[in-house]
């Protein structure tokens, strides 16, 4: 492709969902790679470059965060709020995912600064389109 590979931080605790998302992007042959963490606290540690994520060659700063809403320890909404309040990270686009199409979740995500909201049960091609519009 000749394009620089961009890193997306995927915050997802469900292995099946992680697999579907990553494979969808591989199938689309987009110049992205995923760093995967399972909860909001791991995501914060990754973003701050705390151990075990201190080596930025292995764990580059992402160009986007893709997070589930329902996560252990810290919800995707709490992570989104933290990112948007962090002076050096608030510019990062955050896509929020959920199995729910609850309009209140969409309103909350938008109010916290999410660039998009994605219902997992919809087509992963839609998710790819969202990411392409945001970062590629």
- Which pLDDT tens digit goes with each residue over 35-77? 999 999 999 999 999 999 999 999 999 999 999 999 999 999 9
Q: 37: how many CB neighbours lie within 10 A of its CB?
A: 22
Contact status, residue 31 vs residue 88, Cβ threshold 8 Å:
no
* Residue 42 is assigned to a structural domain of this protein: yes
* Residue 20 is assigned to a structural domain of this protein: yes
The CATH number of the domain holding residue 28 is: 3.40.50.2300
> How high is the pLDDT of residue 125?
72
Q: What is the pTM of this model?
A: 0.89
Report the C-alpha gap between 136 and 120 in whole angstroms: 21
Q: Count structural domains, the chain.
A: 1
- Which pLDDT tens digit goes with each residue over 106-127? 999 999 999 988 887 656 677 7
* Residue 1 is assigned to a structural domain of this protein: no
- Detail the DSSP E strand segments found in the chain: 6-11, 32-37, 64-68, 94-98, 116-119
């Amino acid at each position: 492709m000749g394009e620089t590979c961009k890193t997306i931080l995927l915050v997802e605790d469900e292995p099946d969902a992680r697999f579907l998302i990553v494979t969808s992007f591989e199938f689309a042959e987009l110049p992205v790679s995923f760093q995967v963490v399972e909860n909001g606290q791991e995501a914060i540690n990754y973003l701050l470059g705390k151990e075990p994520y201190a080596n930025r060659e292995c764990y580059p700063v992402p160009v986007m965060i893709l997070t589930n809403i329902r996560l252990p320890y810290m919800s995707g909404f709490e992570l989104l709020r933290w990112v948007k309040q962090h002076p050096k990270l608030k510019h990062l686009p955050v896509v929020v995912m959920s199995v729910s199409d609850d309009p209140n979740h969409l309103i909350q995500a938008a109010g916290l600064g999410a660039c998009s909201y994605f219902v997992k049960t919809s087509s992963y091609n839609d998710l790819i389109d969202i990411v392409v519009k945001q970062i590629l």
